[in-house]
Structure 1
Amino acid sequence: MSLTADLHTHTEYSDGTDSIAEWFAAARAAGLTTIALTDHDTDGGWDEARALVPAGMRVIPGTEFSTKHPGPDGELVSVHLLGYLFDRDDPAVVAEWTRMRDERAGRGGRIVELLVDGGYPISLERVQEIAGPSSIGRPHIARALMEAGAVGSVGEAFDDLLHDGSPYYAALRSTSLIEGLELITGAGGVPVIAHPRARAAAAVLTPEVFASLVPHGLRGIEVDHPDHDDDARAELRGIAADLDLLTTGSSDYHGANKTLRIGQERTPDAVVEQIIALGRTEPFGG
């Protein structure tokens, strides 16, 4: 079984640190020939990736959509949804991204304001510089806090100051998981649930919930992920087999923001070809 693809990675266009050129260099050093560009709620890096894709490498254009789904107690829980090879000019996709971009900008500024009022030595201007071409997100604020010496790491910033229950947290309205699935499939894309056994999503995404998502267009489950232990992987493979869903593997690479290595988890080439056959658009390069 050939494993030369990583289908979940991030760049400076969302909460990663690599430029597109650095991202390609890291992928090549890892021996990858296919890599998915899945920054959060944006296609910001697609055009640059198309222009810079090296010979012998292929890019699957995609996005990691922020969605929520009700848990057993009715509380909405964050679930991330990978969408591959969809039409980025689809009116529903354009409208959703516009909403998310506008809301993220206001929410990021509000979090910074709360932290500054709380005595933390950061500024909105510096956070915007760190965010670069992407909308302000909590990882950018975390890096500003680390730079200012308020925390020792991005992880510490989330654990102590930026988690959902923090007094410095500002909520962001996410689309529902079902709406996200229908958004991607409506634009001709291939939706795959990201890291379903990581964090709070693990309690929400039961086998019954997975089954209920198939009629709404779910095509795959990210099984091999750094946050999944052997038991979780075995369980998810069983669910995927029962529901005739594709199984993928991905690093969730974020550059220097996380210790994950690009290509440390991979998707079989045969599965990549199935995803390409299902998508409306084509990969870049090849």
Structure 2
Amino acid sequence: MRIDLHTHSNVSDGTEPPAGVIISAAAAGLDVIALTDHDSTDGWALAAAAAKEHGVTFVPGMEISCRTEQGISVHLLSYLHDPSHPGLLEEITKSKDARLTRAERMVTLLSEDYPLTWDDVIHHVAPGATVGRPHIADALVAAGVVADRSEAFTSILTSHSRYFVQHYAPEPAIAVELVRAAGGVPVFAHPVASARGRIVGERTYREMIDAGLLGLEIEHRDNPEEGRSLLRTMASEHGLLITGSSDYHGAGKPNRLGENLTSPDVLARIEELGTGTRVVRP
């Protein structure tokens, strides 16, 4: 059984609609796919319907953007949580609103040096989607400023750029607590992806585990092998689930569906632990 538990649609920063992600998953020979859009569950219904039609099992999920006190970005995957849980919904709504304000400010700064307007960015945002840096990157590509998203993120949109603006995000341990309260299964996404920026130390792992963290996304292209070894040891010591996935974004990233996979035993355990919603089978 081929299981990929981390993908994005154009509800957040992917390039395919939710149904399109499912169709691509079926074409890639996947049996199980999770949709984990940033701070949003708006794609669940469309993905579930497409999954039934195309014979793919669908795992409802979400990726929550967090930040430590030291300003280090942490991404938390949540599986099978209740999307209407008041505490979690309030927190992700706050994050989405902050993303919009941040994006507007970044575009204002960028427009001082590049041929870019807010309308240019909105053109690349699907209706109801969360506006983010990837959409600004797409607008820069369309304007001929950069060749692709990757170039935009390694140059103009890097966190060290003068155009970068910080936005609100919950502390990781608080996000873990909210996911558990919503009946979800929290998994730390690509924890040692050092090429993306600073990574957290032992204190943050301890706080997240004490708050109820249930898994680590270890098999991911952005986790270097030496880091994966340390994560496997941590997972063994603390009884954490080990997941693997693609972090697929359609044409937005080079990541390919199914390039890393999760075992059926881990999926079964996620189903046992998740009480907020259910896996959808064809």
Per the alignment, residue 50 of structure 1 pairs with 48
Match for 1:132 among 126, 133, 138?
A: 126
Superposed, 1:261-272 pairs within 5 Å as 261-272=256-267
Secondary structure at the aligned position of 1:36 is classed as: strand
**Tell me, what secondary structure is at the counterpart of 1:112?**
helix
Aligned counterpart, 1:83 = 78
Structure 2, unaligned runs of 5 or more:
none
Relative to 1, partners in 2 of residues 1:201 and 1:247: Cα closer, same or farther, differing over 3 Å? farther
Question: Hey, what's the Cα distance between the residues in 2 that align with 1:153 and 1:201?
Answer: 20
Tell me, in whole angstroms, the C-alpha distance in 1 between the residues paired with 2:111 and 2:141.
Answer: 14
1:129 maps to amino acid: H
Q: Does the Cα contact within 8 Å between 1:41 and 1:63 map onto a contact in 2?
A: yes
Cα distance change of structure 1 residues 111 and 267 upon mapping to structure 2, 3 Å threshold = same
Q: Distance in 2 between matches of 1:121 and 1:173?
A: 27
Matched, 1:104 2:99: yes
* Contact 1:55-1:285 at 8 Å conserved across structures: no
* Equivalenced residues, count: 278
> d(CA) in 2 for partners of 1:172 and 1:55?
38
Q: CA shift at 1:228, angstroms?
A: 2.0
Counterpart in 1 of 2:59? 60
Q: How far is the alpha carbon of 1:234 from its aligned partner? A: 2.0
Task: Quote the residue 1:218 is aligned against.
Answer: 213
Give 1:185-264 correspondences, 5 Å limit: 185-199=180-194, 203-206=199-202, 209-264=204-259
Which among 134, 153, 157 is matched to residue 152 of structure 2? 157
TM-score by length of 1: 0.93
Please state if 1:30 is matched with 2:28: yes
Distance in structure 2 (CA, Å) of the matches to 1:94 and 1:20: 20
Structure 1: tracts of 5 or more residues without a match: none
Separation of aligned partners in 2, 1:209 and 1:171: 20
**TM-score where L is the length of structure 2:** 0.94
- The alignment's C-alpha RMSD in Å is 1.5
Alpha-carbon displacement from aligned partner over 1:202-235 (angstroms, at most 9, x marks no partner): 64143x5423422201000001001123322222
Whole-angstrom distance in 2 between the partners of 1:267 and 1:201: 25
- Determine if contact 2:61/2:79 at 8 Å carries over to the other structure: yes
